[in-house]
């Protein structure tokens, strides 16, 4: 682990994010990584189940940054770039390792990683804690995911062990967070956009209330995605899933 950052490994836990929040509630401030061999109740965005077979990386970073709640919008994108850095270090091809809005990383157009960020600011604007949960498909992926999934082993032909992946991820995320100037998003947005999946292409946008085709234009100043509908109407999307245009 990077200097000053702790780590605990659990053979099995309900969810590393849940465990991190419980530790925060008991007074732990971190920074500490919680890593699980398997999760009995792994979670993704919007409460979805995150399949957690042994051999993949399931981890959460708990820390208490000197941030306000309004400062955290860049963190999902910083994290996605750190995950991308990690896949590249472990053998993935740069041209086919892309960031999918809001915080997934794809290998050859299939999902190989997801991020779940949770925080609390019960005493006002200052954060009580921040938890960055990350899942990386090293050797397993679900067959029934709503977005097609793959693994690092599938695309490289090599099996990477959890410890190696965790060490690389911890190093990369710390470097990214240390380099971030709080209050700025433009450099992060520009880098993320260079590696964005679907930019300038027609995609299916699925919100809680509607589904439509649109061309992805880029990110706004807060990390929402800007799109253009077929009739030329511009729209900003804050919460949605994005799929290939031919998705059912």
Match 């009580």 to its residue by tokens: 128
What pLDDT sits at residue 211? 94
3-state helix/strand/coil string of 160-198: CCHHHHHHHHHHHHHHHHHHCCCCCCHHHHHHHHHCECC
129 and 235 in a single domain? The answer is: no
> For residue 67, what is the DSSP state?
-
CATH code at 85? 3.30.930.10
Match 């019960």 to its residue by tokens: 122
CA angle 224, 187, 106 (to 5 degrees): 60
Greater pLDDT, 228 or 48: 228
12 and 49 in a single domain? The answer is: yes
User: Which tens digits make up the pLDDT trace of 18-36?
Assistant: 999 999 999 999 999 999 9
Range 129-142 average pLDDT:
95
Report yes or no on 146 lying in a domain: yes
Count of the separate structural domains present in the chain: 2
- The rounded distance, in Å, linking the Cα atoms of 162 and 179 is 26
**139 class by beta-carbon count within 10 Å (0-12 exposed, 13-18 middle, 19+ buried):** middle
Tokens of residue 86, six digits:
């990690």
User: Which tens digits make up the pLDDT trace of 220-248?
Assistant: 999 999 999 999 999 999 999 999 987 55
What pLDDT sits at residue 142? 86
Report yes or no on 66 lying in a domain: yes
What pLDDT sits at residue 126? 85
- The rounded distance, in Å, linking the Cα atoms of 164 and 160 is 7
> For residue 224, what is the DSSP state?
P
User: Which domain, by its residues, includes 63?
Assistant: 6-194
120 and 215 in a single domain? The answer is: no
- Measured from the Cβ of residue 43, the count of other Cβ atoms closer than 10 Å reads 21
- Measured from the Cβ of residue 40, the count of other Cβ atoms closer than 10 Å reads 10
Residue 49 has pLDDT above 90, yes or no: no
186 and 217 in a single domain? The answer is: no
pTM of the full predicted structure?
0.93
User: Which tens digits make up the pLDDT trace of 71-127?
Assistant: 999 999 999 999 999 999 999 999 999 999 988 999 999 999 999 999 988 776 789
Residue 129 has pLDDT above 90, yes or no: yes
95 and 211 in a single domain? The answer is: no
pLDDT class of 4 with cuts at 50, 70, 90: confident
What pLDDT sits at residue 137? 96
Greater pLDDT, 123 or 48: 123
Rg (CA), the chain: 18
Residue 199 has pLDDT above 80, yes or no: yes
86 and 60 in a single domain? The answer is: yes
What is the percentage of the chain residues whose pLDDT exceeds 70? Answer: 94
Verify cis geometry, omega within 30 degrees of 0, for the bond prior to 72.
no
Range 187-198 average pLDDT:
97
Tokens of residue 133, six digits:
């949960």
What is the percentage of the chain residues whose pLDDT exceeds 90? Answer: 81
Residue 45 has pLDDT above 90, yes or no: no
Give the total residue count for the chain. 248
Report yes or no on 116 lying in a domain: yes
Report yes or no on 25 lying in a domain: yes
Which among 197, 21, 185 has a CA at the least distance from the CA of 113?
A: 197
Look over the chain and give the mean of its residue pLDDT values, rounded to a whole number: 92
109 and 231 in a single domain? The answer is: no
Report yes or no on 156 lying in a domain: yes
What pLDDT sits at residue 69? 86
- Measured from the Cβ of residue 158, the count of other Cβ atoms closer than 10 Å reads 10
């Amino acid at each position: 682990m990077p200097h000053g950052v702790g780590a605990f490994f659990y053979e099995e836990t309900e969810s590393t994010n849940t465990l991190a929040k419980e530790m925060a509630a008991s007074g732990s401030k971190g920074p500490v990584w919680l890593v699980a061999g398997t999760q009995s109740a792994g979670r993704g965005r919007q409460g979805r189940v995150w399949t957690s077979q042994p051999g993949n990386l399931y981890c959460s970073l708990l820390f208490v940054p000197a941030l306000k709640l309004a400062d955290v919008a860049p963190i999902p994108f910083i994290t996605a770039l750190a995950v991308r850095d990690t896949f590249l270090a472990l053998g993935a091809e740069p041209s086919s390792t892309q960031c999918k809005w809001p915080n997934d990383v794809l290998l050859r157009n299939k999902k190989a990683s997801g991020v779940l960020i949770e925080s609390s600011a019960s005493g006002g604007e200052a954060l009580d804690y921040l938890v960055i949960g990350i899942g990386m498909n090293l050797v397993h992926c679900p067959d029934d995911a709503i977005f097609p999934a793959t693994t690092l082993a599938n695309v490289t032909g090599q099996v990477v062990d959890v410890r190696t992946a965790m060490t690389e991820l911890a190093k990369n995320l710390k470097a990214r967070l240390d380099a971030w100037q709080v209050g700025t998003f433009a450099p992060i947005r520009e880098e993320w956009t260079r590696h964005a999946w679907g930019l300038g292409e027609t995609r299916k946008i699925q919100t809680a209330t509607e589904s439509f085709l649109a061309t992805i234009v880029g990110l706004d100043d807060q990390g929402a995605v800007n799109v253009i509908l077929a009739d030329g109407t511009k729209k900003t999307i804050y919460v949605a899933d994005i799929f290939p245009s031919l998705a059912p």
